Amino acid sequence: MHSRISGFARLAVALSVILVAGSVAAESDGPAASPGTKVAFRAPPASINPAFQLTDNHEIVLSAAPREEEAESNSIYGPVAEYLSKVIGKPVVYRYPGNWGVYQGLMQKGAYDLVFDGPHFNSWRAERSQHHVLLKVPGDHVFVVLVKKDNDRLRELKQLAGRTVCAHAPPNLGTLTILNEFDNPARQPLIVNVDGWHNIYNGLLADKCVSAVIPLAKLEQFEKETGRQTKIMFRGATLPDNALSAGPRLSAAEQDKIAIALLTPEGQRATARLREKYARGKQFVTTNNKEFAGLSTYLKNEWGY
């Protein structure tokens, strides 16, 4: 059976969501920019859609894609929320969404003020939720579809229709990269849900599937360790990496304070675990909505987008 969640299931999850958000309180001074820091200052956001004014509390809600268990997630994002509370003079709290259904439902309702996740989600929020993308992981992000190196039968992507692909469950961007190449829902690959890039790669080698989709950087890393055991049959577009966006309940001035603050030495300490996991320890770099324009198209077949 195809592994993508049905529209009715996603609707049920979305309707069960308890909305979380807050309203804007007074600003306070944040840290000065470190030498050489460049931040693109923006005009104040347009009038806030009433749909995003969900509660009367003063908490700013930080969230992220639910790619870790709750304890690990809290250890990654908790220090960021604590630091940003000092930066903007308002309580910033990290909310662990628990699962993808809740995460997407709350995101679509505008319940999150600060969000760290993939470029397709950042693009969607910039287009639909008045978010500004502030910082990103440096470098490009490319997904590749692999087969074993001795597989001479499969030469092009369309041949994977009806065949198995080891991948994360949608809406992982790697998985959407391959699924979006197939226009006919009845003629798509069968996604074998596997958690973790290394497990996906090993699943292909162990014949759990006939192909796999992973980031090119991960392929290069794995084959340094194992030697060349696969070959690339499809290379996706070159995309920006994971990024942090800020919503309209944070003023333009507050958003700029956040971007500047996270690039300072104190900000780098607060984001150390986050950067270690998603940026290979590298410092974030500033970005803008233009860099993510159009990438929401990867979500076109996902419920609610």
Mean pLDDT of the chain: 84
- What per-residue confidence (pLDDT) applies to 183? 87
Q: Rounded to an integer, what distance in angstroms lies between the CA atom of residue 159 and that of residue 232?
A: 14
- What per-residue confidence (pLDDT) applies to 57? 64
Of the listed ranges 28-37, 119-128, 165-174, the least confidently predicted one is 28-37
Q: Is residue 282 part of a domain?
A: yes
Percent of the chain with pLDDT over 70: 81
| Domain total of the chain | 2
Q: Please check whether residues 60 and 204 belong to one and the same domain.
A: no
Q: Is residue 193 part of a domain?
A: yes
Please answer whether residues 186 and 266 qualify as being in contact, where contact means their C-beta atoms are separated by less than 8 angstroms: no
Q: Please check whether residues 13 and 116 belong to one and the same domain.
A: yes
- Helix or strand run (H / E) with residue 211: strand 211-215
- What per-residue confidence (pLDDT) applies to 135? 98
Domain span at residue 49 reads 7-139+240-299
Q: Is residue 164 part of a domain?
A: yes
* pLDDT value at 4 more than 50: no
Q: Is residue 1 part of a domain?
A: no
Please answer whether residues 255 and 133 qualify as being in contact, where contact means their C-beta atoms are separated by less than 8 angstroms: no
Q: Rounded to an integer, what distance in angstroms lies between the CA atom of residue 215 and that of residue 198?
A: 11
Identity of residue 159: Q
- What per-residue confidence (pLDDT) applies to 94? 98
Q: Please check whether residues 231 and 108 belong to one and the same domain.
A: no
| Mean pLDDT for the stretch of residues 83-100 | 96
Parallel, antiparallel, or unpaired for β 60-64 and 114-117? Answer: parallel
Q: Please check whether residues 116 and 17 belong to one and the same domain.
A: yes
46: domain CATH number?
Answer: 3.40.190.10
Boundary residue ending a domain (190, 207, 236) = 236
Q: Please check whether residues 285 and 249 belong to one and the same domain.
A: yes
Task: Name the pLDDT band for 184 (thresholds 50, 70, 90).
Answer: confident
Nearest to 284 by CA among 299, 295, 270, 302: 270
Q: Please check whether residues 135 and 178 belong to one and the same domain.
A: no
Distance of CA 81 to the CA centre of its chain: 18
* pLDDT value at 302 more than 90: no
pLDDT digits (tens, 9 = 90+) for 62-78: 999 999 999 999 999 99
- What per-residue confidence (pLDDT) applies to 304? 81
- What per-residue confidence (pLDDT) applies to 154? 94
CA distances from 76 to 62, 66, 167, 247 (A): 12, 12, 24, 21
SS3 175: helix
